[in-house]
Structure 1
């Protein structure tokens, strides 16, 4: 690696935000077809040569570390469908400069792999779960896999993962009747439930009419018990955290539409096909794969990181009316 790399902490944008968190999608493939992610019919898949190799991903992460990246989350698609994903997690967990390495998964393959993931050095996982009803889960995801996901969550808890965050995309008329059930789940279990506002990204089978925003969700949860604010820690994302009085776990609200958290966003995203995105909710990206594969130096690649950061907007343009959307597909961007 070039010794002329810039000092730690260089990734500061025009809004004085320090970008130290890189979300890395390692595949666009997924073993589910969720309503809000996949349109009707088939969508093109990336070919083997289109996606970054693990060595390429590791090189980019190491360059990012030299620029101040301290937190990495591995995402997809579904990351566990890619062969070698757990070995990659282990290699990342052994990089001393990284203060936090975590995984987002849909949980279908979690039970079979939880011990290996833990042994690789990962302690924090996020599991996407939009229904506690097996039949409704199948309607949302296209597959009857609820029992496998729940088994995976229980297995992860027994092994010692903490916290286990459960991500719930709240959708009106689809799973809003389960919001209280998810809230109560945090009372009886040490899970961190995250209610996520539906965001219009790509071509899907849902629309802005399905949105249910945080104020309404929070008002519903408050009927269970007093919501006590919880301070965010170093490894926390944009969720506003609460604990229901007497609960073992937490609830949190990720409010990209109703309560922009852009002013303190610290994220960059690396897509599976080698694009750096400074914002999930913008189609703008900086291509890095071509430079990487054409013999680009570490310093040339570092400059692409800097360019992505300079292009990061003050705030995204999405709003609840759905007039503005992101054209790229979610599974291609990375969850």
Structure 2
């Protein structure tokens, strides 16, 4: 019988978000300052061998779904071989990837062959000029090539669109219109303060309720869909559209009660909540010679002291540790 992993609030933990690098070739407004961030030395990152060991261990404890993130994961060399190694782990049922799509198009056939379950493509606008304004890079055409390749090869595709006042509000309707012609999920995400600077606004206006109200102005017949267990998004269908629309309350944190995920940052820090300050460093345990049993015990101890929600996790950081680190350092 397959093992199950639970936290101290009775939530089953089955999903690992594993960041493989903090490096990124874009400079998105909501993720990092224009000048970028100070990257970690390469020797501080978990090696592929260390990550495969960790995923294998966690899969035996109850993790069956892994999402590979960054930074931009495909900037790290030899990613396909690493993904292939993960795909050979018997207890992992799904491998998913989040990418900005700038260097991914040529790899899509290989991803399809190795059975990657889904790809989340970060895309905040369908306008080339606004893409440059938001990302500070001229890579729109490369991202769209990746989008077309994903559709062509039948990989389940979700588009992640961060909603930003003064940046891309005019894009929400065109983004939703993508679901008319394509079987994709377009997910609108509340902006978070993980940008290397802190919250951009005194008050978040474009929260999930206002995003939905905006969509309803154009699509008054939009219908609520059932949300899968542990879903981070509220999901909707526009009648006549092939795809679906989701809204992720990433800042207002209304989905914490069913959270089934943990995060490991590129340097090996376990985060049992996106908003916590890190629980312990797995890399240091491994490099100190810890056995699998010792690592497993440390994970269980951490999950036995997990915050109830993102608000509690943020309070536990203390006043001297505000939420402002770049998402690239955490894992998007």
Describe the SS at the equivalent of 2:212. Answer: helix
Show the 5 A alignment for 1:95-174: 95-162=89-156, 164-174=157-167
Q: Provide closer, same or farther for how the CA distance between residues 307 and 327 of structure 1 changes in structure 2, counting only shifts above 3 A.
A: farther
Deviation, structure 1 residue 159: 1.1
Q: Provide closer, same or farther for how the CA distance between residues 205 and 146 of structure 1 changes in structure 2, counting only shifts above 3 A.
A: farther
The aligned counterpart of 1:313 is 307
Unaligned segments of structure 2, at least 5 residues: none
TM-score (norm 1): 0.91
Q: Which residue of the other structure, out of 305, 323, 328, is the alignment partner of 1:326?
A: 323
Query: 1:225-251, CA deviations, whole angstroms, 9 ceiling, x for partnerless residues?
Result: 3222222346x7411111111110000
Q: Which residue of the other structure, out of 183, 207, 211, is the alignment partner of 1:190?
A: 183
Q: Distance in 2 between matches of 1:96 and 1:243?
A: 35
Show the 5 A alignment for 1:297-308: 297-308=291-302
RMSD of aligned residue pairs (Cα, Å):
2.0
What is the number of equivalent residue pairs in this alignment?
324
Describe the SS at the equivalent of 2:35. Answer: coil
Question: Is the Cα contact below 8 Å between 2:23 and 2:71 reproduced in 1?
Answer: yes
Deviation, structure 1 residue 206: 6.2
The aligned counterpart of 2:169 is 176
Q: Distance in 1 between matches of 2:227 and 2:198?
A: 34
The aligned counterpart of 1:47 is 41
Point out the more displaced range, 22-31 or 255-264. 255-264
TM-score (norm 2): 0.92
Question: Is the Cα contact below 8 Å between 1:38 and 1:205 reproduced in 2?
Answer: no
The aligned counterpart of 1:240 is 234
The aligned counterpart of 1:214 is 208
Describe the SS at the equivalent of 1:305. Answer: helix
Describe the SS at the equivalent of 1:132. Answer: coil
Q: Distance in 2 between matches of 1:181 and 1:66?
A: 43
The aligned counterpart of 1:81 is 75
Q: Distance in 2 between matches of 1:137 and 1:206?
A: 21
Q: Distance in 2 between matches of 1:42 and 1:189?
A: 34
Point out the more displaced range, 110-119 or 47-56. 110-119
Q: Distance in 2 between matches of 1:334 and 1:259?
A: 18
Q: Provide closer, same or farther for how the CA distance between residues 89 and 144 of structure 1 changes in structure 2, counting only shifts above 3 A.
A: same
Point out the more displaced range, 292-301 or 325-334. 325-334
Describe the SS at the equivalent of 2:310. Answer: coil
Unaligned segments of structure 1, at least 5 residues: 1-6
Q: Provide closer, same or farther for how the CA distance between residues 218 and 41 of structure 1 changes in structure 2, counting only shifts above 3 A.
A: same
Q: Distance in 1 between matches of 2:69 and 2:278?
A: 19
Point out the more displaced range, 295-304 or 86-95. 86-95
Deviation, structure 1 residue 256: 2.5
Deviation, structure 1 residue 301: 0.6
Q: Distance in 2 between matches of 1:114 and 1:290?
A: 34
Describe the SS at the equivalent of 2:206. Answer: coil
Deviation, structure 1 residue 148: 0.8
Question: Is the Cα contact below 8 Å between 1:110 and 1:153 reproduced in 2?
Answer: no
The aligned counterpart of 2:270 is 276
Deviation, structure 1 residue 202: 4.6
Deviation, structure 1 residue 325: 4.4
Describe the SS at the equivalent of 1:222. Answer: helix
